Structure 1
Amino acid sequence: MLTQQQKTQYQEQGWLVVPDLLNDIMRQKMKDALAQWVEQSRQISDHNQLFDLERGHSAADPRVRRIKQPHKHGPVFEDFIRSQPVLDVLSDLLGPGLRLQSSKLNLKSPRFGSPVEWHQDWAFYPHTNDDILAVGVMLDDTSLENGAMLVVPGSHQGPTYDHHADGRFCGALDPQMPGLNLDQAVPIVGKAGSVSFHHVRAVHGSAQNRSTMSRNFLLYEVCAADAFPLMGVADFDEFNQRLLRGAPTITPRFRDVPVRMPLPPALNQGSIYENQASSGKRFFDQVEVPQQAAST
């Protein structure tokens, strides 16, 4: 359970880090599953339903930047998000009813861990209310040097920014937009096993990993059970199967929050990396770090 100070920090700043929420045994199982997936990626040459690949990926030098929906492919990832300590924290922040939206495992390997441009998760999946957050599980020690996520404190209480370019959704906001206060962003750091929580409307992004240490970051999106997606529910049975705590409902709760729909769809589909490829305005550089400077 969270302290009142922790709850207040989340409410006011839009983010929180809880240390040691992932134990070493479960973390090792996750890292073992990840190593198997990276080995498996040697057999493919393009993105698919499981893998999102970095530039330069090859069988000889596998470069994976994301595992899609790991909770559907590895039992340990489902077990973690349904564990009581995690659900207790989520209930403190979102209320008694909880639903899993999706999951992903972002890899930032030494030399080529891709940046993620500034954005709000809310731009991708607006709901009837914004009691939604992302759970960030640090599988490695996470620092500013190896590409920690950056969050602008208090930005979750501000506007929903435009994430479009040339009339289409692109999953990134213009970093030159007035009022963003990107210079106030704070790095979300912690030891391996720490877990972060950030509000769905918080402005955040991350730079390339230029260090010699990997930064593997597991993310889950979790909603209050009465938050319904404005883009609709395609399969109501599957929707209810994603409940983590509480009972199904057909009564969505509405809250007056600013919304922009992610329409027309992004020109490049597949992942946020593909969406943002068409943004045209970059904040974070991506360069190739010399091979001899890196280690695993």
Structure 2
Amino acid sequence: MLETDVLKYPTKAITSEQRAAFFANGSLVLESFVGNNWLRRLRHAVSESIESARHITENNAAYVLESGHCLEAPALRRLNNPVCHHPDFWRFASESPMAELAADLCGPNVKFYHSKLNFKWPHVGHQFDWHQDIPAWPHTDYSPISIGLYLEDCGVEQGPLMAINGSHRGDLHSMYDNNRNWVLRIPEEDLEPGWQDHLVNLTGPAGSVVVLNCRVIHGSHENNSTRMRPLLLNVYSSADSMPYAFNPLANQYDGVIVHGEPARYASHDPRGCELPPDWSKGYVGPWQHQAGARANEESS
């Protein structure tokens, strides 16, 4: 669904002013949006997920291991599709206020796409370079959004999400380098002049929700604190937004309607989007792509 059509519907989970701010900036922070009951349930699910990775020795389709991970001290960089690993993750994605929030921003009919749980451990949590999401999973329109939940307090020192306000209104950057290697990053020299004036740190206490437009340029610094920064991310789209490419994080809930009804017709935005590699052959994750790009820059 296109933005002009979404705006025809009244909001339920947020105010019309908050929705207008999201469409203007490309990001939105809702402090303490999720209550303590959900936080307790999700933190328990997170602990179980970390424990389940204790005996894992190498990255696989579910687990991306952090540096120093071992049997005695398990540490995950990411859990892919947590909705497939603990029922409370799916209940939260489909039954909590998240679906209603997605409907306010995508339109009344909403479907689920994929999820991830990024941990960012103290002192080893890596930076995430500037990038845009939609080139990795292009759709027929730009309704897809990522809704992130901070499970613990997140200040600047924890390496919060950062966004460049208004960048979603600009052009899409290629996520390939000059040699057609997929790198999922935008070098700072390629950003619009004055981008620093529009940079925002998307911080908030535990229970805060961060929403990202699929075109907004965003990233994060490393975690320089003594506390972990677990961030649960669920991606939704309007029901009439159809993916052009294989889902890089394919899962059993892809396409499930979590609010409203299935679509009868597809929505098409006239603005094009470069296609990613064929993820059906495997997806190694963003850090490996970005690290390879930085290594090539340093050696050139």
TM-score normalised to the size of structure 2? Answer: 0.86
Q: How many residues get paired? A: 281
The aligned residue for residue 260 of structure 1 is 274
1:243 counterpart = 2:220: no
Aligned to 1:101, the other structure's residue is in SS state: strand
For 1:222, what is the secondary structure of its paired residue?
Answer: strand
Cα gap change, 1:128/1:31 in structure 2, threshold over 3 Å: closer, same or farther? same
Q: Does 1:176 align with 2:189?
A: yes
The residue type paired with residue 132 of structure 2 is Q
- Of the three residues 148, 151, 161, the one matched with 2:173 is 161
One-letter amino acid of the structure 2 residue matched with residue 68 of structure 1: N
Q: Alpha carbons of 1:267 and 1:73: their partners in 2 closer, same or farther (altered >3 Å)?
A: closer
**Residues 132 and 282 from structure 1, CA distance in 2 versus in 1: closer, same or farther, beyond 3 angstroms?**
farther
Cα 1:181–1:205 shift into 2, 3 Å: farther
Q: Give the deviation of 1:280 after TM superposition.
A: 2.5
Instruction: Name the CA distance, whole Å, in 2 between partners of 1:188 and 1:55.
Output: 26
**Cα 1:106–1:84 shift into 2, 3 Å:** closer
* Cα shift at 1:250: 4.8
**Secondary structure of residue in 2 paired with 1:169:** coil
Give yes or no for the alignment of 1:220 onto 2:240: no
1:198 matched to 2:212? The reply is yes
Report the Cα offset of residue 180 of structure 1.
6.3
Counting aligned pairs with the same residue, the percent is: 26
Range with greater deviation from structure 2 (130-139 or 251-260): 251-260
C-alpha distance in 2 between matches for 1:233 and 1:154: 27
Q: Partners of 1:44 and 1:155 in 2: how far apart?
A: 39
Q: CA deviation at 1:34?
A: 1.3
Residue 168 of structure 2 aligns with an amino acid whose one-letter code is H
Partner of 1:104: 116
Distance in structure 1 (CA, Å) of the matches to 2:213 and 2:296: 23
1:229 aligns with 2:259: no
| 1:158 maps to amino acid | G
1:288 aligns with none
Q: Distance in 2 between matches of 1:189 and 1:282?
A: 32
Bigger mean CA deviation after superposition, 180-189 or 132-141:
180-189
Q: Does 51-60 or 153-162 show the bigger shift?
A: 51-60
Question: SS at the partner of 2:227?
Answer: coil
CA distance in 2, matches of 1:69, 1:268: 15
What CA distance in whole angstroms lies between the structure 2 residues aligned with 1:224 and 1:206? 27
* Offset of residue 241 of structure 1: 5.3
Shift of 1:142: 0.8
Determine the C-alpha separation between the residues in 1 that align with 2:234 and 2:296.
25
Aligned counterpart, 1:20: 32
In structure 2, C-alpha distance between the alignment counterparts of 1:280 and 1:32, rounded to whole Å: 36
Letter of the 2:135 partner, please give it: A
1-structure distance, mates of 2:221, 2:31: 23
Question: Which structure 2 residue ranges, 5 or more long, are not aligned?
Answer: 1-11
1:282–1:189 distance in 2 versus 1, CA, 3 Å: farther
Change (3 A) 1:233 1:258: same
Is residue 164–residue 279 contact of structure 1 (8 Å, CA) maintained in 2?
Answer: no
RMSD, aligned α-carbons: 2.5
Correspondence list, 1:75-154, <5 A: 75-83=87-95, 85-154=97-166
Which secondary structure state, in structure 2, belongs to the residue aligned with residue 9 of structure 1?
Answer: helix
Whole-Å separation in 2 of the counterparts to 1:272 and 1:58: 22
Cα distance change of structure 1 residues 34 and 85 upon mapping to structure 2, 3 Å threshold: closer
